[in-house]
A and B are shown apart, each in its own frame.
Chain A
């Protein structure tokens, strides 16, 4: 039976004694329920040794986890609430580079597409609010620093480069696509060497096998000033029919501003002094 990506995020009833398996791209998740505990394990550790798989599996009740996985455990009664998985964006901003260095002309605008590996939230569908058990990254992202040596922000580094056209985007079940519209209202050109995409104000939408986030607009007005951020409401124009899967972590407020566009070599010499 062909399994559909949309089935990944539906509620699943797990009886005591059962173990259910999901695979979302490179991440395998096993959920076991006992009389008084919920247990969740994943195979992230196997990825690092190259032994991980890849694909799509929805609620397989016959699969047992391989040796070496670590279980996280929660004790307590969930009143029979069903279990579900939900994609969410990383808990920090992500930094990405365009495929090729490009400068945005004064009074010009450009649209780029940033691919962000999602995290998977394991939760119990309790009322009135769901109970979060654990958030698991599908891919462990590297750290990077956005700012200067004196101040800045810890972000994730996304290996894949930003794309300029929709056709260039490969869609994978564990990766969302974020359209970023950059508008340069300044009198000078704006070099786009690296872009910091804040994820807390973006929701995730799904259409078929594709995951999209709300659009993000960055407005650059003056050199040295932070850019104005305008997160979109609703799905992006490229996926107008997509349905909301996960709301933003934080509701966007008017007047958001952040230094979202930086230079790769904004740290001259990386603080290194040749002796």
Chain B
């Protein structure tokens, strides 16, 4: 039985192998084996070289530029190096590059149309890394979004909003829209618009406001606090108090200063008025009904009894 298996199966396989072996021997001549071996060496050595070069470039640029820009340089060198390696290997193996490049050109146009948004973001990212309107850790506002920059990546910028929500904004948005870097400079100004009643002595109110500003330890003495009589509004005289603080103290100073000013106004008897509206019904309209609270009636009666005047009917 074993001899029959050998005859029926193995012998045809050996015959086929012998034929293919001859073909393989034809394909893999010594010369071509050398080319393949050379290509492998190019890949291995090239990979090591571009890895080393890209890391050296990243370390060198990180000393003078931002970490994001250094990482970008590393990626450009790494992937650009791989393109060169692949083209070199293909040329080494005898592949005609002109056809590949022509195909790549056509494919590039097609990919460009399809990926124009992503490419726009990549190019916008390059401009952001050159222009540097903000860096990681800055607090920025773009549109209605206010948050801290977590990372500046190839296609998008990531923010953490102050209620701990995560926001991803495409880079091209930063090129097209206005960006406010709230924390770019170390100090920031607190503007407080305060309205007081018309009957108040504006000069005294101004002194009170400046005194409160000077007393607060977080308010910088230089630049010094300023107070301007800003406008005569419909219900109040408005004063603008301008105080400077370091970035980290901005919110705390604003809140505490407002509380201190309110308490001081209460102690000094300085009135913060409500908006006043005068209502005129017009000659053709019916009289407006008026409801006088009972305690007011009692007070008016008491005043009238003292003064001998007439009292309104109850």
Contact = CB atoms under 8 A, between A and B. Distances in A.
B186 A142 contact: no
A143 B185 contact: no
A31 B37 CA distance: 81
Contacts of A146: 222
B187 A144 contact: no
B200 interface: no
Nearest to A146: B222
Given A154-B246, A270-B226, A270-B244, A143 B186 contact: no
Contacts of B187: 145, 149, 152
A134 B244 CA distance: 29
Contacts of A152: 186-187
Interface in B235-263: 242, 244-246, 249
Interface string B219-232: 11111101000000
A270 B223 contact: yes
Interface in A126-148: 140-146
B223 A140 contact: no
Interface string A137-181: 000111111100111101001000000000000000000000000
Interface in A105-143: 140-143
- Main secondary structure, interface of B, reads loop
A142 B226 contact: no
A140 B244 CA distance: 18
Interface residues of B, number: 20
A143 B218 contact: yes
Contact of A141 (B214, B217, B226): B217
A264 interface: yes
A141 B249 CA distance: 15
Interface in A221-275: 264, 267, 270-272
Interface in B163-194: 185-187, 189
Contact of A145 (B216, B217, B226, B244): B244
Contacts of A194: 222
A95 interface: yes
Chain A interface size, as a band, is 20 to 34
Interface in B97-131: none
Given A149-B187, A272-B242, A144 B217 contact: no
A157 B226 contact: no
A143 B220 contact: yes
A271 B222 contact: no
B246 A144 contact: no
Nearest to B240: A272
A151 B187 CA distance: 8
A157 B221 CA distance: 7
A191 B245 CA distance: 26
Contacts of B221: 95, 142-144, 157
B220 A145 contact: yes
Contacts of B214: 142
A270 B249 CA distance: 18
A207 to B, nearest CB: 31
Interface in B136-186: 185-186
Contact of B220 (A140, A144, A264): A144
Contact of B223 (A95, A150, A271): A271
A6 B189 CA distance: 45
A151 B220 CA distance: 15
Nearest to B217: A142
A194 to B, nearest CB: 7
A151 B186 contact: yes
A3 B233 CA distance: 61
A141 B219 CA distance: 11
Contacts of A264: 222
Given A143-B246, A145-B246, A149-B187, A270 B217 contact: no
Most chain B CB within a 10 A radius of its CB, from A141, A143, A146, A272: A143
Contacts of A150: 185-186
B186 A140 contact: no
Contacts of B224: 270
Nearest to B191: A272
Nearest to B245: A143
A145 B185 contact: no
A157 B223 CA distance: 12
A150 B217 CA distance: 22
A182 to B, nearest CB: 19
B223 A143 contact: no
The 7 closest A-B pairs by CB, nearest first: A270-B223, A157-B221, A144-B221, A144-B222, A267-B223, A142-B217, A145-B220
20 contacts: A95-B221, A95-B222, A141-B217, A142-B217, A143-B220, A145-B186, A145-B223, A145-B244, A146-B222, A149-B223, A150-B185, A150-B186, A151-B186, A157-B221, A267-B222, A270-B189, A270-B244, A271-B189, A272-B189, A272-B242
Given A142-B214, A142-B216, A144-B220, 9 more contacts: A95-B221, A142-B220, A143-B245, A145-B223, A145-B244, A154-B246, A157-B222, A267-B222, A270-B189
Interface of B: 185-187, 189, 214, 216-224, 226, 242, 244-246, 249
